[in-house]
Amino acid sequence: MTDVIVQPAVIEPLLGPLYWLLGVWSQLMTGVARATGLEVLQYGFMHRAILVGLCIGVMAPLIGTFLVHRQLALIGDALAHTGFAGVAIGLFLNAVFEFGISPYLTAVIVAMVAALLIEVISETTDAYNDVSMAIVLSTGFALGTTLISINAGGLAVGVNQFLFGNLSTVSTDSAAILLVLFTIIIGVVGVTRNQLLYVTFDETAAAVSGLSVNWYNRIMVMLTAMVVVGAMQIMGVILVAAMLVVPVAGASQVARSFNESLLVSVVLAEIAVVLGIAVSYYGEATAGGVIVLLAVGVYVLAVLAGKLQTALTGTETPEMGAISPNSDPTTTDD
Amino acid sequence: MTPHHDNTADTPAIELADVAFGYTATPVVEDISLAVSPGEYIGVVGPNGSGKSTLMKLMLGLLRPDRGRARLFGVPAHQFDTGSRIGYVAQHASASKEMPITVREVVKMGRFPHVGFGQLSADDWAVVDEALDTVGMSAFADRRVTELSGGQRQRAFIARALAGEAELLVFDEPTVGVDIESVAAFYDLLDVLHDDGITVVLIEHDLGAVTEHAERVICLNRELHFDGPTAEFVDSDALARAFGTTTAVLGDD
């Protein structure tokens, strides 16, 4: 019964244009398949998987950059596991009450609530810590496995796709949900990029400059929840966090500026995703695992490139100028 | 961009009334009442652990007093959100130590309170480059902050505060790690900023620098031991009382 997932009537008109978009994308891919003769591009499910993969390659390192530089690399893992609890809740509700809700929707909701909880707890205790993160992670996973085992009947069959991800089970519905998440994430980061950068780099100075640090942190963790649930379809619960961390770690080895590091991390992630999907298709392996292995490979190359870069540019330092009060920094013309 | 002037000239930039604060049950500062008028140059001195940095955090609204009230430009300090009016340089920069980010990108943040969700205009970038020039860091603009020495990092953070074109600049031991010649130049820079009408609050362990440059001295050790003109401070025994010794010699550092 999990094969046929009917969206509640409210969401249907919202997703309409996205189905159209997915159709256009699919036609485009079919065209590419005809022109190139690539077998991998002939199937509808691969069209959706590639689109989802490309989106993951942008949004995961984008959000990951803000997390990694705040020493929050593990929060993605914790939220993915609560997302799994959300999936289980969705499957449970569908089985017991015949709701027909996509489990990805319940996963988004549960993960976002968990994200807010982690953030609010850290605000009151004044620290993110490994322990609270580990507790949230295991609670999420325990809740998920318990709910699934209660309903073991028909449910356990569908669980593997959530745990390990699966290219061939990316349905039109879940691809549409991912596009919605993708749009929200890109939109919010686009609007608040200055604030997120300031809070990430220097929380105290950001607070003095009038930013509500707590609110930007809450926004950040909720975006993280959206990313991990969105990426879960292909990457799976267990490996999804790697996409938030590994390309970003690679990018910080070679990039000099923050903007450059954003760009490089997206490029590295896309390389891993595109190659990974192709390799897993032809090699008949699980996409999530292959993508992460490739991402780690790309990371190692980035580390080497970074070392090489340092060795080549040498250590010459430019002349430091004097602090010169004469050039008056406070004069402006407007 | 010109600073806002939405309240009258006699509204204190900083006002603390009967403020007490402690991280635990023991107060770190107590019975603090003071007001800083726009345009003043104030030095805050006191022994290590006397609550100087805590006082600064209370002033800026980073901490809320347990008792009493703290106001910034007439607004309760913790609610104050017109960041374009305040510039701040921390003692040990709280900033991320590993992030890939250039000096220019750091200084750019000084403009964020002015641009909000928008982009920096050509004028904003001009202010950024001018601030870099003022602290002598133009040649380092495209360097990664992680490659800098402590003193260079500190200069970058000073440039960020300058780029904000704030009315009130708060420095918490800003010259830690900065080389000696540059320290003198830095205090000259503060004098110029003060002459331009900017309110300067300087927290310093170097008593000589404070007595030489600040107009008014606040001497702190949990409570206020002195608050008045620098000349009076030099003549008083406030320092000895605050440091709990009679052997403290001014300018001996």
Find the CATH number of the domain harbouring A123: 1.10.3470.10
Nearest CB to B96; choose among A69, A259, A334: A69
Backbone φ, ψ for residue A190 (5° rounding)? -60, -45
Residues of B in contact with A210 (CB under 8 A): 80-84, 86, 113
- The span from the CA of A288 to the CA of A184, in Å, is 24
pLDDT in tens, B77-122: 988 888 889 998 887 666 777 889 999 999 999 999 999 898 999 9
Query: Per the domain annotation, does B126 fall within a domain?
Result: yes
Nearest CB to A328; choose among B102, B185, B196: B196
Instruction: Note whether B82 contacts A260, CB cutoff 8 Å.
Output: no
Mean pLDDT of A127-143: 82
pLDDT at A132: 77
Instruction: Note whether A329 contacts B131, CB cutoff 8 Å.
Output: yes
Q: Are the beta carbons of B45 and B210 closer than 8 angstroms?
A: yes
A155 has pLDDT over 70: no
And the tokens for B104?
Answer: 């220019």
And the tokens for B242?
Answer: 């605050």
Residues of A in contact with B83 (CB under 8 A): 208-211
User: How far is C-alpha A268 from the chain's CA centre?
Assistant: 14
A256 at B interface, C-beta within 8 A: yes
Nearest CB to B96; choose among A200, A210, A321: A200
Is residue A293 classed as helix, strand or coil in its secondary structure? helix
- The span from the CA of A249 to the CA of A300, in Å, is 10
Torsion over CA of A159, A163, A168 and A173, rounded to 10 degrees?
Answer: 70
Query: Per the domain annotation, does B7 fall within a domain?
Result: no
pLDDT at B186: 86
A111 has pLDDT over 90: yes
pLDDT in tens, B115-141: 989 899 999 999 999 999 998 899 999
Nearest CB to B94; choose among A197, A205, A257: A205
Query: Per the domain annotation, does A4 fall within a domain?
Result: no
pLDDT at A2: 41
Instruction: Note whether A323 contacts B135, CB cutoff 8 Å.
Output: yes
Mean pLDDT of A302-309: 91
Residue labelled with tokens 């017991």:
A96
B163 has pLDDT over 50: yes
Query: Per the domain annotation, does B1 fall within a domain?
Result: no
- The span from the CA of A203 to the CA of A206, in Å, is 5
From A140-154, A155-169, A207-221, B55-69, the region with the lowest mean pLDDT: A155-169
Instruction: Note whether A258 contacts B193, CB cutoff 8 Å.
Output: no
Distance from CA of B134 to the nearest CA of A (A): 5
Residue A254: count other Cβ atoms within 10 Å of its Cβ: 21
Is residue B36 classed as helix, strand or coil in its secondary structure? strand
Mean pLDDT of A242-252: 95
Q: Are the beta carbons of A60 and A247 closer than 8 angstroms?
A: yes
Query: Is the complex ipTM more than 0.85?
Result: yes
Sign of the alpha-carbon torsion through A95, A101, A107, A110? negative
Q: Are the beta carbons of B131 and B107 closer than 8 angstroms?
A: yes
- The span from the CA of A276 to the CA of A289, in Å, is 9
A95 has pLDDT over 90: no
Crossing angle for the helix pair A44-68 and A258-283, to the nearest 10 degrees: 150
| Beta pairing, strands B216-221 & B41-45 | parallel
Mutate to test the interface with A, among B53, B99, B169, B192 (most CBs of A within 10 A): B99
Residues of A in contact with B136 (CB under 8 A): 320-324
From B19-23, B36-40, B46-50, B163-167, the region with the lowest mean pLDDT: B46-50
Query: Per the domain annotation, does A36 fall within a domain?
Result: yes
- The span from the CA of A7 to the CA of A150, in Å, is 25
Instruction: Tell me the CB-side half-sphere exposure of residue B157, using CA atoms within 13 A.
Output: 32
Distance from CA of B197 to the nearest CA of A (A): 10
Domain count, chain B: 1
Mean pLDDT of A136-141: 89
Q: Are the beta carbons of B195 and B184 closer than 8 angstroms?
A: no
CA distances B245 to A16, B35, B210, B232, Å, are 78, 28, 20, 19
Domain with A285, as residue range(s), is 12-312
Find the CATH number of the domain harbouring B40: 3.40.50.300
Query: Per the domain annotation, does B64 fall within a domain?
Result: yes
Higher pLDDT, B206 or B63: B63
Confidence band for A15, pLDDT divided at 50, 70 and 90: confident
pLDDT at B245: 56
Residues of A in contact with B191 (CB under 8 A): 325
Instruction: Note whether A69 contacts B99, CB cutoff 8 Å.
Output: yes
Query: Per the domain annotation, does B9 fall within a domain?
Result: no
Confidence band for A57, pLDDT divided at 50, 70 and 90: very high
pLDDT at B241: 76
Confidence band for B71, pLDDT divided at 50, 70 and 90: very high
Instruction: Note whether B165 contacts A210, CB cutoff 8 Å.
Output: no
Domain with B76, as residue range(s), is 14-243
A126 at B interface, C-beta within 8 A: no
Instruction: Tell me the CB-side half-sphere exposure of residue B4, using CA atoms within 13 A.
Output: 12
Q: Are the beta carbons of B209 and B187 closer than 8 angstroms?
A: yes
Question: Which residue in chain B is spatially nearest to A325 when comparing CA positions?
Answer: B189
Query: Per the domain annotation, does B213 fall within a domain?
Result: yes
Nearest CB to A204; choose among B62, B113, B160: B62
- The span from the CA of B166 to the CA of B87, in Å, is 6
Alpha helices per DSSP H over chain B: 52-60, 103-108, 112-115, 122-134, 150-163, 180-195, 207-213, 230-235, 238-243
Crossing angle for the helix pair A103-125 and A213-254, to the nearest 10 degrees: 100
Query: Per the domain annotation, does B110 fall within a domain?
Result: yes
Question: Which residue in chain A is spatially nearest to B134 when comparing CA positions?
Answer: A324
- The span from the CA of A147 to the CA of A162, in Å, is 14
Confidence band for A4, pLDDT divided at 50, 70 and 90: very low
Residues of B in contact with A203 (CB under 8 A): 94
pLDDT at A97: 81
- The span from the CA of B138 to the CA of A223, in Å, is 36
Instruction: Note whether A329 contacts B127, CB cutoff 8 Å.
Output: yes
| Beta pairing, strands B216-221 & B67-72 | unpaired
And the tokens for A70?
Answer: 């705040």
Backbone φ, ψ for residue B13 (5° rounding)? -65, -45
- Return the exposure string of B123-159: e unless at least 16 CB atoms fall within 10 Å of the residue's CB, then b: ebeebbbbbbbbbbbbebbebbbeebeebbbbbbbbb
Domain count, chain A: 1
Angle at A310 between CA A308 and CA A314, to 5 degrees: 120
Single-letter residue type at B106? V
Residue A334: count other Cβ atoms within 10 Å of its Cβ: 6
